[in-house]
């Protein structure tokens, strides 16, 4: 994934840079840009799973009997 056509500089503390570097290694990302993108994607997926996956294991597949209407 190469998104270097447009770049910008952001200022972060040295502590944040160290955290990003550790996360980069953990995620096996090539760049800090990729690290940030992967982190954002993972967080977004986690939030969606938490919000919309609450009953994930409890819900059964929809059947025609669940329709609840008379189609005759």
Q: Where does the pLDDT of residue 67 fall: very low under 50, low under 70, confident under 90, or very high at 90 and above?
A: confident
From residue 40, alpha-carbon distances to 3, 35, 47, 65 in Å are 15, 9, 11, 41
For residue range 16-40, list pLDDT tens digits in order: 999 999 999 999 999 999 999 999 9
Segments making up each domain of the chain, as ranges = 14-54
Residue 54: pLDDT over 70: no
What's the rounded mean pLDDT across residues 38-63? 81
Highest mean pLDDT among 1-5, 12-16, 62-66 belongs to 12-16
- Helix, strand, coil % (nearest 5) of the chain? 55, 0, 45
**Where do runs of H (alpha helix) occur along the chain?**
14-27, 32-52
| pLDDT score recorded for residue 1 | 52
């Amino acid at each position: 994934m190469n998104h270097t056509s447009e770049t910008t500089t952001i200022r972060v503390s040295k502590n944040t840079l160290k955290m990003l570097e550790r996360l980069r290694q953990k995620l096996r990302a090539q760049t800090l840009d990729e690290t940030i993108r992967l982190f954002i994607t993972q967080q977004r997926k986690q939030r969606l799973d938490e919000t919309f996956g609450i009953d994930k294991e409890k819900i059964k597949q929809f059947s025609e009997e669940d329709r609840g209407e008379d189609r005759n």
